[in-house]
Structure 1
């Protein structure tokens, strides 16, 4: 049975809350007395518990209730949030996450999960017993003289009530999403006592127009409770985005009540109804006032306005009545004032939209080509205008899939904490550029490569405290995650301030494994690139985390699969940085079209440096070009892909840059820029070197998308074609001498 949308929303929201809880728990270790962070942890647990109760998920409710009791004692100062308690609650969060995952998979907890939950419950109850906790019962306060919200305020500036006032307007989709509005009211009774409730039905349409799946209800509630505002607000977290919820504490300021009156969404309300709904009057008090007004009229006494009568009877503060009169005298449009500019959209719908935009671009290019072929001026202009609009649609559609990398970066706070404890090292994670945006698909596929890089940096990069002290470094090591936009790409760096890599050791290992000739002359980059060879490792000891020579080659393959590049730079004794370059999106890019014989190829426009025409003398050279005194390796696409036919009289070189290196692609024609809709290769062609996908041109022909970083790597390591790094260095020296 498929999980319904409401339950799926609960699963998504719960995971987000657990992520926030984990971030707060990692922070609370450094600031154990931060009340705001403690409240954030409590709210997350409380919201998950309340939402789970709506769906009858008793396992989550029972377990979270015990955790909530501990957090409540922490908030009251009975328990201090030390490192041990943070460890416990990280395990609690993991267990709740496991329970949520089981719900997502429509599975029941197995014996292992049940035993883990029981063990954690026992540890939580032990914490409560140590703090002298007793079962908390809902006890209502006896009319406090004032609350913290009104401390120091003159009595005339407050409404004289000991009750909370809750104003609810549920969103129209509340019931359609699987929520019962009354379930939230019932949940309030677990926190206190509902003293008075007014149900608002003005927005309910006539029976002939009523949609049974839409919610038109609202409530004005007078509520007495010992709970704080955060706890009461937490009861409505699951519908907060689509509903209007306003909560006023006991003895709130007059200005807060007048603001509430002004914000009531109903278009026209009578004065008495307004005062009832803002909690300043009960229905009985209003009826008594109306009876007195009626008697006065019958007896011939001047009839006072209702507002003045209520003021004289000291039932309502004058300022509140004035605000109600102002509200009554005008008409306001009945619109929801909630945060309606945000919309949660299924990612598959966005993917479908991107596909449609891609097909539209292909169709538009075909129409423009036909218009130019037949030299129809008006049609050419029209298709050009359509192309410009399609570019805007493309950019807007792609922006919908762009997400910040912060979510991926922040999850490594927990990784660094746990791994540093396992290794017995003091390591801190610093994050910068977390607001950098890139395609959601790219972000999702980055998690595993980054995890390996971070763990590797901690295990082999950061030294022990003793070695760091001997080297004059701070005892605490640092791992840094940094992201930024650069030339149409996203650059992500994972760096550490550890001992760095030994070039001599890497080179020696490379020679031992036969990866490098004993007499080869390699640049620093070529030496560090050996680290990404399968099975390569310089670790002296194998640990649970790394050192078996498995992982860095997988990281590189993962990055290359995203049409990205990866390189490493290191300074011995100072630290190591791994730099990853990725395209902003994998769907639609600006490309540059090349022609070789009857074949067409596309390279990302952001990687094109320049285009030059080759002379006959230059065309005779097979493997390199003198480009303003620098050696430019050449890749002849005709030879690389065995394209039939003779090259044209004129050949062109497209200089492209990837992974910090430049190469020249020798082609017959330069066919200009175009919007490229990237389509993945089938399984049969996935292992073709130097090709990252294909696109369909306006004339229906297929053009291959060249994987520039992969081509650059081939050039750097293909000795049989004369591309030995030492050979290039010799060519470079010869050029310098010639000049």
Structure 2
């Protein structure tokens, strides 16, 4: 009997699995939208639906079982050729899949009772009925623990070869018991179809008592069933454990070739020849024991192989022994090349990363102390330790790296739905799916990428008629690409559409007061205006766009990830949005500076250069510096953070970049590069503008990590406010001058 915690854990496992399965089902449906006759995809989709239904039945989630059963019936009709997949039917199935996903999320919120939108489900079921799926009610098919098969029937061992004897080879997966299944229950159901003439337990995978896990299943079964049932009826007995076992069924009067085929299909476990033949049903345990006893009586050395003796005695045909030998060799080859993988909870990886981060800090502190004492031997030792720590850091970070392909593949559904809604023909092309990125970064990229993709479909790619008039193909192209560059990851969302209309963007920006009509902006500056909150070039508001919400969220999210976004566009040829992000958010390569006794860390990838000046033309917090003939906006960090000003007449200026812009940060001292761990700010300090986190230096001092995008916005707001004040002052002077002329 499971206790409360065990039941909750088991239910959570079902929820996690159901989420993964619904994503898999969506990918199969999108694949079938392109190739509706793909039998492998149809069968795989059927298995996914079957697994969801069977697992839901274990928890008595009757609404989920019943609804999924309708989809399963449809797929069975498709598989049997009674129904034909079409784009409209796949769209309906995707809606049904969304409903299944919604029910799974409801279960996660409240597992006590599954309250569903009955009207919506009836609407979907009625739509399925139009495609030939009957919507008859179905009872929950969850399995309960039941009494074992009568012992007398389990002990029948008389081998039958008469008409109507089916041979069933069953290998349970190790996780069978943990998923709530009882092997004996299936034997009871099987016995209803006929007589079990032979049942042989296969225990070659049984470990020693010390190594045995009571929650794992190590057994298999070889069954001879005398029955008039069909193969489908026998398979239905095991339908709920289809994904937790390997099942092979041989019909009555099977020839030797059928048994040989069964040998080929057996799991590739490294077994002895005799065990393989027993597993295939060609040999009984008694016959194997007789053969082994005969082998021991042989006087020749080495003793003849068991396969040779079985052939000589006429018990097994030669071709079956050869097949068993090939299976044995394949199992050995597989084991020798098999890569071992384990699943680790994300929070455990986070703990490891945090510990590695502390190790980085400690190693840096040890090296700093060694240098301060001038001990060459100690310095050399700490350098060696630092090298090993760096290797450990890189290895630990790789554990959190996952391929971005899973995220990219989800946009097949977005592209399909949105393009159909807009009546456009669009093809999605994915490149760089194998590019790896920190899981925490990927999790936060979903919303920004969705906005970019939807905007490309809605605003970027023209309708089929417009494309033909422009000399293009009716089908538009949307590209998703990812690659590594200079220690960063670059993600591109591109299209071959109309491109950005700079004249229209400028006109809208002037109308909204974002820029002055006389402002001299280059193309890149105009493109950047689309990230302003509330900005939109759409002439009308739709369900997809036109409200000016989305692109500002994209920029703020990417800024929070310490990244930047660039736009490359050519009118009439398309646009590419290029996002650059750090590989991980856990550890930062920084540049240490100080203001008096306060330490600050600037992300190293944003530092362009450091310069020294006698004085900058500052008015309080802000000012400008002539940098090689160009004005460089400068920000005094001391004034910005209300720290005491430096008494030194010389100032150090760190030039940082964000996107295509540069500013200078005025500091007191430069300390150089360092690698450190990012610590989140406590809730009390999260409102601080210009601070993105904190860290502990090797000396034990606390340093604040600067939020460069926030400082850029602060300086930009100051520049815009100054420009507005200047314009108002000029207007007052003009008005004053006119009044003076009138009075004269």
Superposition TM-score, scaled by structure 2 size: 0.78
Determine whether 1:121 maps to 2:121.
no
CA contact (8 A) 1:170 1:181 kept: no
- Structure 2 residue aligned with 1:408: 407
Note the C-alpha offset of 1:523: 1.8
CA gap of 1:118–1:221, structure 2 versus 1, over 3 A, is farther
CA contact (8 A) 2:602 2:706 kept: yes
- Structure 2 residue aligned with 1:92: 96
Counterpart selection for 1:80 from 81, 84, 104 = 84
Once structures 1 and 2 are overlaid, which stretch shifts more, 55-64 or 422-431?
55-64
CA gap of 1:94–1:532, structure 2 versus 1, over 3 A, is same
- Structure 1 residue aligned with 2:393: 394
Note the C-alpha offset of 1:677: 0.4
- Structure 2 residue aligned with 1:421: 420
Q: In the TM superposition, what are the counterparts of 1:581-596 in structure 2 within 5 Å?
A: 581-596=580-595
- Structure 2 residue aligned with 1:141: none
Determine whether 1:41 maps to 2:45.
yes
Counterpart selection for 2:612 from 603, 611, 614 = 614
SS at match of 1:281: coil
CA contact (8 A) 2:186 2:237 kept: no
Aligned-partner Cα distance in 1 for 2:118–2:194: 32
- Structure 2 residue aligned with 1:456: 455
- Structure 1 residue aligned with 2:21: 17
CA contact (8 A) 1:680 1:693 kept: yes
CA gap of 1:255–1:385, structure 2 versus 1, over 3 A, is farther
- Structure 1 residue aligned with 2:599: 600
Determine whether 1:103 maps to 2:102.
no
CA contact (8 A) 1:261 1:324 kept: no
| Larger RCO: 1 or 2 (CA < 8 Å, sep 6+) | 1
CA contact (8 A) 1:74 1:81 kept: yes
CA contact (8 A) 1:5 1:177 kept: no
Structure 1 residue runs without a partner (length 5+): 132-160, 298-303, 727-739
CA contact (8 A) 1:192 1:226 kept: no
Once structures 1 and 2 are overlaid, which stretch shifts more, 376-385 or 589-598?
376-385
- Structure 1 residue aligned with 2:372: 373
CA gap of 1:569–1:718, structure 2 versus 1, over 3 A, is farther
State the Cα deviation string for residues 92-148 of structure 1 (Å, max 9, x = none): 2222222322332334676653333344334434433699xxxxxxxxxxxxxxxxx
CA gap of 1:641–1:262, structure 2 versus 1, over 3 A, is closer
SS at match of 1:421: helix
Aligned-partner Cα distance in 1 for 2:86–2:519: 56
Aligned-partner Cα distance in 2 for 1:580–1:376: 46
Aligned-partner Cα distance in 2 for 1:79–1:506: 50
Counterpart selection for 1:168 from 165, 171, 179 = 171
Aligned-partner Cα distance in 1 for 2:35–2:129: 24
CA contact (8 A) 1:593 1:600 kept: yes
Aligned-partner Cα distance in 1 for 2:582–2:193: 51
Determine whether 1:703 maps to 2:703.
yes
Note the C-alpha offset of 1:32: 1.7
State the Cα deviation string for residues 426-479 of structure 1 (Å, max 9, x = none): 233222222222111111111122222222222222333333332223222233
State the Cα deviation string for residues 47-72 of structure 1 (Å, max 9, x = none): 32333344444433333333223212
State the Cα deviation string for residues 383-431 of structure 1 (Å, max 9, x = none): 3322222212221221111122222222121112112222222233222
State the Cα deviation string for residues 199-220 of structure 1 (Å, max 9, x = none): 2346656778865344443444
Aligned-partner Cα distance in 2 for 1:292–1:679: 70
Aligned-partner Cα distance in 2 for 1:559–1:193: 66
SS at match of 2:19: helix
- Structure 2 residue aligned with 1:659: 659
Q: In the TM superposition, what are the counterparts of 1:467-546 in structure 2 within 5 Å?
A: 467-546=466-545
- Structure 1 residue aligned with 2:12: 8
- Structure 1 residue aligned with 2:677: 677
- Structure 1 residue aligned with 2:565: 566
CA gap of 1:262–1:105, structure 2 versus 1, over 3 A, is closer
Aligned-partner Cα distance in 2 for 1:228–1:408: 40
CA gap of 1:351–1:29, structure 2 versus 1, over 3 A, is same
Note the C-alpha offset of 1:541: 0.6
Note the C-alpha offset of 1:293: 8.0
SS at match of 1:595: strand
Aligned-partner Cα distance in 1 for 2:604–2:661: 16
Aligned-partner Cα distance in 2 for 1:499–1:176: 55
Note the C-alpha offset of 1:563: 1.7
Once structures 1 and 2 are overlaid, which stretch shifts more, 181-190 or 97-106?
181-190
- Structure 2 residue aligned with 1:641: 641
CA gap of 1:667–1:64, structure 2 versus 1, over 3 A, is same
Counterpart selection for 1:217 from 205, 216, 219 = 219
- Structure 2 residue aligned with 1:355: 354
SS at match of 1:29: helix
Aligned-partner Cα distance in 2 for 1:721–1:538: 25
Aligned-partner Cα distance in 2 for 1:178–1:338: 32
SS at match of 2:365: helix
Aligned-partner Cα distance in 1 for 2:249–2:579: 51
SS at match of 1:700: coil
Note the C-alpha offset of 1:653: 4.2
CA gap of 1:227–1:374, structure 2 versus 1, over 3 A, is farther
Note the C-alpha offset of 1:548: 1.5
Counterpart selection for 2:35 from 21, 25, 31 = 31
Aligned-partner Cα distance in 1 for 2:292–2:21: 51
- Structure 2 residue aligned with 1:150: none
State the Cα deviation string for residues 578-616 of structure 1 (Å, max 9, x = none): 2222221111122222233322222223333444x4354
CA gap of 1:656–1:697, structure 2 versus 1, over 3 A, is same
SS at match of 2:117: helix
Structure 2 residue runs without a partner (length 5+): 136-163, 299-303, 727-744
Aligned-partner Cα distance in 2 for 1:651–1:619: 11
SS at match of 1:67: helix
Once structures 1 and 2 are overlaid, which stretch shifts more, 389-398 or 307-316?
307-316
- Structure 2 residue aligned with 1:277: 279
Determine whether 1:575 maps to 2:578.
no
SS at match of 1:505: helix
Superposition TM-score, scaled by structure 1 size: 0.79
Count of matched residue pairs? 678
Aligned-partner Cα distance in 1 for 2:33–2:373: 72
Q: CA RMSD in A?
A: 4.5
Aligned-partner Cα distance in 1 for 2:617–2:490: 35
CA gap of 1:540–1:408, structure 2 versus 1, over 3 A, is same
